[in-house]
Amino acid sequence: MVYLDHAATTPVPKAVADVMYRVLTETFGNPSSQYPLGRDAAALVERSRRTVAEALGCAPERFVFTSCGSEADNWAISLAARQGRHIGRHIITTAVEHSAVLEPCRLLEQDGWSVTYLKPDRLGRVTAEQVADALREDTVLVSMMLVNSETGNVYPIRAAADALRARGSKALLHTDAVQGFLKLPFTPDELGADLVSVSGHKIGAPKGIGGLYVGPRCRAPRPLIAGGGQEMGLRSGTEATAQIAGFAKAVELRLEDRAEKERHMRQIRDYAFEQLAAIDGVVPLGTHEAPHIIAFSLVGYPSANAVNELGAQGVCVSAGSACHKGKPSHVYAAMGLDKRTAGGALRISIGPDTTQSDIDAAVAALRAHRDTRFPML
């Protein structure tokens, strides 16, 4: 199998699975229990928190574990909305955000909130100037992703933060950094972000674990889940110790030779674009700034057909975000792509172990698909 869908999820390394197995079978106590087995589990959670927080570049007490990136996004938006409700009821986001940001914003609109959705250009770019132009006195939150999961575009979070400060805005700044964590160098302070969402299964951790950085401008956040007071009183419920330990181990593995991993992914990304350019009808999409995402269109050839046919040959690529579940991409619609280009959109996303041979296999399969199918769009 040739797996080229790392932006959807990543394989779990054996070292991560081994750590999780040991936790499940040996350190399985409830971290709230007072006997040694429980205290060992609690210590494991805090060691893991320090590991992930250090990689993110924040203090451990500023990082809260969640079940996934989507939960972290939802929490960030509700937290900012509640904190700013006495200032106003206006939110700025982009039309190309993950649905975990867009859908909570739409729910707030149903409750009378005003949301400005910044429109990208045809390359999917959104600027800090657009943020500044959209700011109002009643703006309480700006939410802009760090890396777009479909195009690989990197967004100007630092510049947006500077625009907020220059205007004297009290709005909090949230960034969905799920696709950027340990693929691009950043810290919350470097970005100027008040809230940062991350996810484990994009970097070799299991599904079911993520986290939210909550910065000092977030005053006394309301608990996401009330109950037993776990996660510093912010997210009650018995901690998922195995997933948390797996997240920390995955972070440790990604940090080993990190610069070389990122260099390798960029090299493979550039090689993929070079090979894809030799296929008639292929058009690159976005700005492909992220090191791991290659977005393109096989114009006129429905992407679902290509994904299914390549999958039958053991080559795993996607037609965009896995969260779409076959629905048309709101990202490409916002970019204003024509029907034939948007309908043929595909994404290859790579990991530290992806090779040129993997790209060659995908390109060969795509070429065969194009040569044996008539355009249908």
**What's the rounded Cα separation, in Å, for the pair 189 and 341?**
38
Q: What pLDDT does residue 232 have?
A: 86
* Residue-range domain boundaries for the chain: 2-10+257-372, 14-255
Residues that are catalytic: 323
- Of all residues in the chain, the percent with pLDDT exceeding 70 is 97
Residue 322: pLDDT band with limits 50, 70, 90: very low
| pLDDT above 50 for 323 | no
Q: Give residue-wise pLDDT tens across range 7-24.
A: 999 999 999 999 999 999
Separation of alpha carbons 198 and 207, rounded Å? 12
Q: How many CB atoms lie within 10 A of CB 220?
A: 5
What is the average pLDDT across 213-217? 97
Q: What pLDDT score was predicted for residue 376? A: 53
Q: Are 41 and 30 in contact (CB under 8 A)?
A: yes
Q: What is the pLDDT of residues 63-101, one digit of tens each?
A: 999 999 999 999 999 999 999 999 999 999 999 999 999
Extended strands (E) in 95-138: 114-118
Torsional class of 233: left (φ above 0), alpha (ψ -120 to 50), beta (otherwise):
left
What is the tens place of the pLDDT at every residue in 123-151?
999 999 999 999 999 999 999 999 999 99
CATH no. of 14-255: 3.40.640.10
Give the count of alpha carbons within 13 A of 92, CB side only. Answer: 28
pLDDT of 220: 76
Rounded to whole angstroms, the Cα distance separating 218 from 280 reads: 51
Model confidence over 25-50: pLDDT tens digits? 999 999 999 999 999 999 999 999 99
In this structure, whether the domain defined by 2-10+257-372 belongs to CATH 3.40.1190.20 is answered with no
Range 330-346 average pLDDT: 95
Q: How far is CA 303 from the centre of its chain?
A: 22
Structure confidence at residue 361 (pLDDT): 97
| Region for 325 from its dihedrals, namely left if φ exceeds 0, alpha if ψ lies in -120 to 50, beta otherwise | left
Q: Is 2-10+257-372's fold the same as 14-255's?
A: no
pLDDT of residue 325: 55
pTM, rounded to two decimals: 0.95
| CA-to-CA dists, residue 363 to 33, 346, 348, angstroms | 54, 12, 10
Burial class from Cβ neighbours inside 10 Å (0-12, 13-18, 19+) for residue 14 reads exposed
pLDDT tier at 228, thresholds 50, 70, 90? confident
Q: Which residue has the tokens 């350019």?
A: 277
The alpha carbon dihedral of 233, 234, 239, 242 has a sign of negative
Question: Vertex 325, ends 239 and 65: CA angle to 5°?
Answer: 15
